[in-house]
Structure 1
Amino acid sequence: MKNKIFETGESYAPLILRVILGAVVLMHGMQKLFGCFGGMGFSRTMLFFTDFVGLPWIMGFLVIMLETVGAAALIAGAGTRLIAFSYTILPLGMIITTHFKNGFFMNWFGTLKGEGYEYFILWIGMAIALFILGGGKYAIDKIFIEKNNYKIKQ
């Protein structure tokens, strides 16, 4: 089971996917956790999640952690399939709780009541590809496989 979770190939395609997805999600996470890039920071984001969106505090906390710690782990290729699986569920939740009512398209011109869900469809597609492929070239996941294979050979 452990081998199936951490197994990965030597392709550059998953490396590109995980670095780009991780970097974009990390920027959003840093807005939520630290208030970077015009974000609200941890306290105000948690207040938004619990009071406006209606999420339990633990869900709000998990969203923030997945978008920061999870994104950093994804970039490094640590637990790629686990993060990728989480990254299929997380944006689905965002679509359902907040963005579906705004339609498909992003609010490019400020004429809609909020952002649509097109960005999240791309996020989900990248996450599914990473779940299938693993972390690819230079993924830390390989360390877990190599240790396991070394024990088997002894």
Structure 2
Amino acid sequence: MKSLQLLLKTDNSTAQLIARLALGIVMFPHGAQKVLGWFGGYGFTGTMHFFTGSMHIPALFAFLAIAAEFAGSIALILGVFSRVAALGIAANMVVAVAMIHRHIGFFMNWSGAQKGEGYEYHLLAIGLALIVLVHGAGRASIDRALSKNAES
């Protein structure tokens, strides 16, 4: 129970709320592409085939990456197990930078002149995730409500 309390503990900060919602809202479409095929995505089966076939990512890690973006984004929006969700998204972004985006450079490909997207977006996502990981979900979160109930 004590470890669960540490996982959920947060204050009533608006800063964590903003970081949590910004990250969750921005990540949700990426997760929905990979799971549901929304927003021009391949859906779960197509994404798994791409990750395991073309990118040679082991199936377990491919599944965890997809889950981090989809379930993690929903968890952040709701503010439930936010630290776990933030850790998953941060790890996912670190791997994306290490495997793909660092070779392209820092900047996003706004002009279409690069071979892909740089890692500036990923650094922002990692920064937002670290805020939630360190400080918790903040105001208007299920974590806060559960934490307050556990203290009673």
**Do both proteins adopt the same fold according to a TM-score greater than 0.5, normalized to the shorter chain?**
yes
Would you say the 8 A contact 1:53–1:97 is kept in 2?
no
Q: 1:82-106 CA deviation, whole Å, 9 max, x = no partner?
A: 1112222110011111211111111
Give the superposition deviation at 1:7: 0.7
Structure 2: distance between partners of 1:48 and 1:116: 20
Q: Which residue of 2 aligns with 1:71?
A: 73
State yes or no: 1:4 paired with 2:3: no
Structure 2: distance between partners of 1:81 and 1:12: 16
Would you say the 8 A contact 2:82–2:136 is kept in 1?
yes
Would you say the 8 A contact 2:105–2:118 is kept in 1?
yes
Give the superposition deviation at 1:8: 0.7
Pick aligned residue for 1:31 from 27, 30, 33? 33
Structure 2: distance between partners of 1:109 and 1:43: 31
Structure 2: distance between partners of 1:47 and 1:110: 27
Q: Which residue of 1 aligns with 2:143?
A: 141
Q: Which residue of 2 aligns with 1:45?
A: 47
Gaps of 5+ in 2: none
Structure 2: distance between partners of 1:147 and 1:137: 15
Give RMSD over aligned pairs: 1.2
| DSSP 3-state at the match of 2:93 | helix
| DSSP 3-state at the match of 1:89 | helix
In structure 2, give the amino acid aligned to 1:106.
M
Q: Which residue of 1 aligns with 2:19?
A: 17
Divergent runs of 4+, >3 A:
none
Would you say the 8 A contact 1:87–1:124 is kept in 2?
yes
Give the superposition deviation at 1:142: 2.1
Would you say the 8 A contact 1:77–1:138 is kept in 2?
yes
In structure 2, give the amino acid aligned to 1:70.
G
Would you say the 8 A contact 2:9–2:147 is kept in 1?
yes
Q: 1:61-96 CA deviation, whole Å, 9 max, x = no partner?
A: 111111111110111110111111222211001111
| DSSP 3-state at the match of 1:31 | helix
Structure 1: distance between partners of 2:34 and 2:5: 34
- TM-score normalized by the length of structure 2: 0.92
Gaps of 5+ in 1: none
Q: Percent identity?
A: 39
